[in-house]
């Protein structure tokens, strides 16, 4: 039975994941709508600002993980990052110059890069490795619920008050996350366990760099490649669906795309819960394979019909694939880096890899569309997803422990890594 302190920590982490759900991903398309509708920016300038923010987030993922590994003030890092994100949102209505918009959004993206490793580290430090699976599933469950709620609120508030309302909504959620993290008991976080040390290891032991852990751990490296391929195939699918919907009926495109996003997030909620409940007993790999197989399936199903409701229905499968992947990625990284003290920097490095895949996805899809059309683009993305599935199946071992048996892969010991 949970003590009052454990109950409070669990509820605080639930709130933190809920309120940071939309903040972690930034303003995204809402920024584009605002700059286009209110400030009349040209698409090239909008795209450049969003690209610069994306690059800023991409290059800071690994350093953010290293920071979380080292610091014993993880809650304060979350608070500072949330304040920076809040500032980057509320200042937007008062600035119009390209340079200042780019700077504020870049700072917001850099700040946002610490949230994922911070949440993973705080969760691991509080629960320990044995209970981390269930806590991670619970984190993702609340994260997807927060995303769905934020999307609904953003749509309603934008309709009532204009696109500027989204900025204040995000600022409110960032401030609410500060309240949530302040209720986490800092003394309950074991900072050595939080960075991937074995609980039996001696505190203060020198550890190799995170890059060395990544480059000398073959299963971790292959898993990173699988993650990159997964997002290379996945990131462009929803934008392509939105473009097809726009061609079919411009009036239906926006509401159907919004419905698509909300419904997929709602599907992710039970999927993330299932991962948290069963990943220890069923193993990581079967659930990962199940998540990965839906991605090539989606790509093939899209070409079967141009009916808008068919396209939206197929997009719901993203809730299964992305829901399983999001909950399992921290678990696999934790398994493969256990004992190294470099859990968070490795998580950040893998986040960089799949971020790079996501960044390249739309460009690749656009090139294929220009040369061969939408069906060819969907099938190309499906083929990449199939490669990711096969590579995961063949080259990534089971990393968890099943029914009390030893894991198929032994994590690298800190002393064995050059």
pLDDT at 92: 83
Q: According to the model, what pLDDT value does residue 376 have? A: 92
Return the number of other C-beta atoms located less than 10 Å from residue 52's C-beta: 16
Burial class (CB in 10 A: 0-12, 13-18, 19+), 395: middle
CA distances from 412 to 15, 27, 195, 198, 328 (A): 34, 38, 14, 12, 20
Please compute Rg for the chain using Cα positions. Answer: 21
For the chain, which residues score pLDDT lower than 70? 1-2, 25-30, 32-33, 37, 43, 198-214, 246, 249-255, 257-258, 401-418
Per the CB < 8 A criterion, the answer to whether 80 and 24 are in contact is no
What is the pLDDT, as a whole number, of residue 58? 86
φ, ψ of residue 409 in degrees (nearest 5) = -125, 140
Q: Judge if 7-182 and 209-403 fold alike in CATH terms.
A: yes
Nearest 5°: the CA angle 322, 326, 330 is 155
Residue carrying structure tokens 């990449």: 384
Q: Could you give the angle at which helices 374-395 and 343-372 cross, rounded to 10 degrees?
A: 150
Q: Where are the domains of the chain?
A: 7-182, 209-403
CATH code for the structural domain at 209-403: 1.20.1250.20
Instruction: Kindly tell me the sign of the dihedral angle through the C-alpha atoms of 408, 409, 411, 412.
Output: positive
Q: Give the architecture-level CATH label for domain 7-182.
A: Up-down Bundle (1.20)
Give the pLDDT confidence score for residue 148 in this predicted structure: 84
String of DSSP letters for 380-418: HHHHHHHHHHHHHHHH----S--TTPPPSSPPPPGGG--
Provide the pLDDT for residue 416: 39
Residue 417: per-residue pLDDT = 40
Contacts of 357 (CB under 8 A, 6+ apart): 227, 228, 229, 230, 231, 232, 235
- Going by the DSSP 8-state scheme, the letter that residue 6 receives in this structure is H
């Amino acid at each position: 039975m949970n003590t009052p302190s454990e109950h409070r920590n669990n509820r605080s982490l639930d709130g933190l994941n809920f309120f940071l759900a939309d903040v972690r991903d930034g303003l995204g398309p809402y920024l584009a709508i605002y700059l286009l509708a209110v400030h009349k920016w040209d698409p090239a300038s909008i795209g450049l600002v969003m690209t610069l923010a994306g690059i800023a987030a991409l290059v800071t993922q690994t350093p953010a993980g290293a920071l979380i590994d080292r610091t014993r003030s993880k809650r304060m890092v979350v608070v500072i990052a949330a304040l920076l994100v809040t500032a980057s949102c509320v200042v937007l209505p008062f600035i119009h110059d390209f340079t200042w918009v780019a700077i504020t959004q870049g700072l917001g993206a850099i700040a946002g890069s610490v949230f994922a490793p911070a949440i993973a580290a705080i969760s691991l430090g509080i629960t320990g490795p044995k209970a981390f699976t269930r806590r991670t599933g619970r984190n993702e469950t609340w994260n997807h619920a927060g995303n769905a709620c934020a999307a609904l609120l953003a749509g309603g508030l934008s309709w009532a008050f204009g696109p500027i309302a989204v900025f204040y909504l995000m600022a409110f959620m960032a401030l609410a996350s500060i309240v949530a993290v302040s209720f986490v008991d800092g003394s309950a976080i074991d900072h050595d366990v939080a960075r991937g040390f074995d609980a039996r290891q001696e505190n203060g032991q020198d550890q190799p760099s995170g890059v060395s852990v990544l480059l000398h751990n073959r299963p971790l490296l292959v898993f990173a490649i699988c993650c990159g391929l997964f997002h290379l195939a996945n990131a462009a699918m929803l934008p392509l669906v939105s473009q097809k919907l726009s061609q079919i009926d411009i009036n239906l495109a926006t509401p159907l795309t919004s419905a698509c996003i909300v419904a997929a997030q709602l599907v992710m909620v039970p999927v993330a819960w299932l991962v948290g409940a069963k990943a220890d007993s069923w193993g990581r790999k079967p659930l990962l394979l199940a998540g990965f197989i839906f991605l090539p399936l989606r790509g093939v199903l899209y070409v079967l019909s141009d009916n808008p409701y068919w396209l939206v229905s197929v997009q719901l499968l993203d809730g299964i694939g992305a829901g399983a992947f999001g909950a399992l990625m921290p678990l696999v990284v934790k398994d493969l880096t256990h004992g190294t003290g470099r859990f968070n920097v490795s998580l950040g490095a893998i986040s960089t890899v799949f971020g790079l895949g996501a960044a390249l996805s739309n460009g690749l899809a656009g090139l294929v569309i220009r040369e061969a059309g939408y069906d060819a683009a969907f099938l190309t993305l499906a083929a990449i997803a199939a490669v990711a599935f096969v590579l995961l199946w063949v080259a990534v071992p089971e990393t968890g422990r099943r029914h009390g048996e030893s894991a198929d892969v032994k994590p690298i010991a800190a002393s064995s890594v050059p």
